[in-house]
Amino acid sequence: MAYKFDFGAIWEAMPQLLAAGLGTLGLAVAGSLLAIVIGIGGVVLRDSRLAPARWLVMSFVELIRNTPFLVQIYFIFFALPLLGAQLGQLLAGLGLIARPTNYLLIGPWPTAVIALGLNGGAYAIEIIRGGVQAVPKGQWEAGAALGLHRATVFRLIVLKPALRAIYPSLTSQFTLLTLTTSIAGAIAAYELFSEAKFIDSQIYKPFEVYFTITVFYFVISWFMNQLFQAFARRYFSYPTK
Amino acid sequence: MTQTRQAAPMILMEGVEKWYGQFKALTDINLEVNSGEKIVLCGPSGSGKSTLIRCINHLEPIQKGRIVVDGVTLGHDTKSIDAVRRGAGMVFQQFNLFPHMTVLENCTLSPLRTRGLKKDAADALARKFLARVQILDQAEKYPAQLSGGQQQRVAIARALCMEPKVMLFDEPTSALDPEMVKEVLDTMVELARDGMTMIVVTHEMGFARQVADRVIFMASGQIVEEEPPEQFFQAPKHERTRKFLGEILRQH
């Protein structure tokens, strides 16, 4: 018997898919924000005068970029809480906390945001660093000559032109992050792909289900892109030569 | 030095040495600049003249010797570096304006951040100096919308907004198209007339003749000759100075 296309069944599942789509969008936005914070903070530490801070950031970047995201998110979700339990016991034993608490035991959705943020952040560090290096040394010197400290020069003088220089690469990195949210279902975080799998397992309409979420992913990704471009128009609108 | 010293000099350099790794960029630099004096520093490229003025505000740290600016001995500590930098305005060859800030924002940045001025006061200060370098009408524009000469005048105004005791100019006209050199030099001449203490690294010998109290010639990281402009141009003592002047003046 030939497969019968029936988008009517999808129509019934639409509320669930839309809700899960919002879950995906939420992961993408929260993960991207965290990744930007980690990216900028990482660059500051990576180029700081503190050698241990530099090593820490370099190791972090290498670790993230040379391991699969699926392993990273599993590690944070399944492995770290075991460490957290031990740590809680230890702290309670030392009398630092009233009773053993596992600070590393967190729910799937926050875990997914953290994993996405760390992963995207590691790539963002390298990208933003390239932008910082593209800013002429004279800009740092002019800031210093005006009596501003290094951190102030970075924040007020270097950061904006640096981000502007690498903005297209950063945008595509965040598109990738948006699409990577589909892996977060592996730890039962609420998002579109795992919801689609669940619906398909109930109605046996793989073509309709995966066709629909393909469109959804495309729209979400496009929306994120528009968001980034709108931000760029507002934030980077100064003229250059 | 032939002048008599009434007060402590504005800038004092004593036995200053600067190394870049194995390369010795400055050798035994001794220099005194009194308040209100205008010094022109010249010499062939690589002679250390830019390095010298960059040491004064600690853009380049020195390895040996002593630098005192307006009574503050420059150390490697933030406090003395801040104090010296806030008293010394610097103008760079490549202008180094901040591209994402308007002309006005370029000028108010330091007063707002280092002197704690309120926005109104900082704006008023910036407008005063922008008017003085005759570019007030461009206050709301971005650096990329200005010509090179205009940008350099903004850079001068930006440095003046720190209300510095001394102005350091590092080849301020070298990156300019010939037709824009004059507007920048005129601005500097006016500044000199108002009594600003200035150290200017330049090959503009007309400027040196017109405003310098002393012209210093450097070669291979050392001060070779130091004279008032009349002597310097008419009767240079050293062979290297004569050779340099011959080459420079032939081009003009």
- Which percentage of chain A shows pLDDT scores above 90? 84
Is residue A40 situated within a structural domain? yes
Is residue A198 situated within a structural domain? yes
Looking at residue A100, its pLDDT comes to: 84
**Which residue type does B236 have?**
P
Query: Quick check: B2 pLDDT over 80?
Result: no
DSSP letter assigned to residue B216: E
Is residue A1 situated within a structural domain? no
H or E segment at B156?
A: helix B148-160
Q: What is the pLDDT of residues B46-57, one digit of tens each?
A: 999 999 999 999
Inter-chain residue contact A157 with B114, CB threshold 8 Å? no
Provide the pLDDT confidence category of residue A96 given band limits of 50, 70 and 90: confident
Query: Quick check: B210 pLDDT over 60?
Result: yes
Is residue A18 situated within a structural domain? yes
Mean of the pLDDT values across residues B135-147?
Answer: 97
Cβ–Cβ < 8 Å for B124, B47: no
Is residue A147 situated within a structural domain? yes
Is residue A205 situated within a structural domain? yes
Q: DSSP 3-state assignment of B28?
A: strand
Q: Which residue of chain B comes nearest to A156, CA vs CA?
A: B109
Q: How many domains does chain A have?
A: 1
B-chain residues within 8 Å CB-CB of A139?
A: 96, 98
ipTM score of the complex?
0.93
Is residue A36 situated within a structural domain? yes
Residue-range definition of the domain harbouring residue A228: 8-235
Looking at residue A158, its pLDDT comes to: 97
Is residue A3 situated within a structural domain? no
Provide the pLDDT confidence category of residue A1 given band limits of 50, 70 and 90: low
Q: What is the pLDDT of residues A181-204, one digit of tens each?
A: 999 999 999 999 999 999 999 999
Q: What is the pLDDT of residues B142-173, one digit of tens each?
A: 999 999 999 999 999 999 999 999 999 999 99
Looking at residue B247, its pLDDT comes to: 87
Provide the pLDDT confidence category of residue B248 given band limits of 50, 70 and 90: confident
Looking at residue A6, its pLDDT comes to: 87
**What span, in angstroms and rounded, lies between the C-alpha atoms of A200 and B31?**
83
Looking at residue B1, its pLDDT comes to: 44
Give exposure, B168-194, as e/b (b: 16+ Cβ within 10 Å).
bbbbbbeebeeebbebbbebbeebbee
Q: What is the pLDDT of residues B70-85, one digit of tens each?
A: 999 999 899 999 999 9
Residues 6+ apart with CB under 8 A from B227: B214, B215, B236, B237
What's A27's domain CATH number?
A: 1.10.3720.10
Mean of the pLDDT values across residues A209-236?
Answer: 95
Looking at residue B122, its pLDDT comes to: 97
Query: Quick check: B6 pLDDT over 70?
Result: no
Partner-chain residue, chosen from B85, B99, B144, that has the shortest CB–CB distance to A145: B85
Inter-chain residue contact B90 with A239, CB threshold 8 Å? no
Mean of the pLDDT values across residues B178-192?
Answer: 95
Cβ-based interface (< 8 Å): residues of A facing B: 136, 138-139, 141-142, 144-149, 152, 156-157, 160-161, 164, 236, 238-241
CA dist list (Å): B3 to B8, B34, B66, B248 = 13, 10, 21, 28
- Count CB neighbours of B126 within 10 A: 28
Give exposure, A14-45, as e/b (b: 16+ Cβ within 10 Å).
eeebeebbebbbbbbbbbbebbbebbbebbbb
Average pLDDT, chain B: 94
Is some CB atom of chain A closer than 8 A to the CB atom of B110? Answer: yes
Q: What is the pLDDT of residues B68-125, one digit of tens each?
A: 999 999 998 999 999 999 999 999 999 999 999 999 999 999 999 999 999 999 999 9
Inter-chain residue contact B100 with A144, CB threshold 8 Å? no
Give the A:B interface size as CB pairs under 8 Å.
67
